[in-house]
Amino acid sequence: MIYLDNHATTACDPQVLAAMMPFFTESYGNASSPHELGQAAAAAVSIAQAQVATLVGGELEEIVFTSGATESNNLALLGVARQHEQRGGARRRLVTTAIEHKSVLAPLEYLAGLGWDLVYLPVDETGRVDLHKAQELITEETLLVSVQAANSEIGTIQPLAELAELAHARGALMHCDASQAAGKIALNVTQLQVDLLSLSGHKMYGPKGIGVLWVRGGSRRLPLTPLMYGGGHAGGLRSGTLPVPLIVGLGVASELAVEQLLAESQRTAALRDEFEQFLVEELRIVIVNGAVKQRLPNNTSLTFAGLDAEALLANLPELVASTGAACESGSVEPSRVLLALGLTQEQAFGTIRFGLGRFTTAQEIRKAASQIITAYRQLALLLA
């Protein structure tokens, strides 16, 4: 099996798994308990907070653990809007793009159904936000702008610092879903000027079921209304017993990401470029989607003209890849991301997303490219 679906999820790094194991069977205390086992767990949580804080360039007390980026996004977006409303605020505009993950779009659409003004920033043919239009659409009525760090299908990296500057100039807050970018490109919340940032452990070789919402200010954080009420954990922002093993795993995953970021991004980008070049040269009909330069180093979105992508994948039994984001799996509609870039429905249905990862080898890439070329030519002959 050649696994090229690392956008959907990554394998848990063996070092991450090894670090987690003692907290299932030995140091299994509740991190809120005052006894020795509890305090050992609490200490491990603090270490993980510091590791994640280093990854994003924030402070330990600014890290709020969640069940994943979906919860983090909901907590950020609904938390800001509800708090503003409860305080009698007058701002009613929420700004995003049409190519965000569903866990951003769905809560914003929910708020729109309650009367909030939801505005979508246009993107160009590479998926990058149009900053001139953003300057017009982010107004004095805007409460929050939410734009991803990098797209989960085409890998395009957004101009977050510029967007945050526009938002702050209008008195608005800036949220970023960084779940695809974390561990793959450098993220520094101070340089990006964001106020809220979401990430998920399983996208960066950590365990599933754990994520983070970074909230600027820590104990003096901007006010958010929680989604859940109960034990008052995380300063009342996110109640629930802390999943210490998962938190430890995310901490180690963050530390490994920091250590390996430069070398790994260069390695995967080189493999990705070799993969693309081989396919484009051998199959002249292949189109590379997104921003060729400003994209994630492990990403490639390729359109195979004249063929259905699902049919092509069905003839590649050794290859694991997908036609789009995992959250859109099973949809009979063409990718909304690709349509937003200007692709036709036929082109969108002929597109495959490949996501290289930490454990992808050069041999696998060459074998995958060769198998794709063979399968494409066989299918093309059948359809001729």
Catalytic residues: 327
- 3-class secondary-structure state, position 198: strand
Long-range CB contacts for residues 234-238, cutoff 8 Å, separation at least 24: 234/64, 234/65, 237/64, 237/75, 237/79, 238/64, 238/65, 238/66, 238/75, 238/213
Burial class for 133, CB neighbours closer than 10 Å (0-12, 13-18, 19+): middle
Which sign does the torsion angle of CA 269, 275, 276, 277 carry? positive
Burial class for 83, CB neighbours closer than 10 Å (0-12, 13-18, 19+): middle
Q: Where are the beta strands (DSSP E) in 104-216?
A: 117-121, 142-146, 173-177, 196-200, 211-215
CA atoms of 74 and 84, how far apart (whole Å): 15
Strand 196-200, strand 173-177: pairing? parallel
Whether 219 and 235 have beta carbons less than 8 Å apart is answered as: yes
Residue of 255, 212, 203, 296 lying closest to 10 (CA atoms): 203
Q: Concatenated DSSP letters for 104-115? A: HHHHHHHHHHTT
Cβ neighbours for 366, distance < 8 A, ≥ 6 positions apart: 274, 278
CA atoms of 180 and 157, how far apart (whole Å): 10
Tell me the CA distances in angstroms from 42 to 8, 244, 327, one per residue in order.
Answer: 31, 8, 33
Token output for 174: 């800036």
Q: Hey, what amino acid is at 217?
A: G
- The label of the residue with tokens 């809007």 reads 81
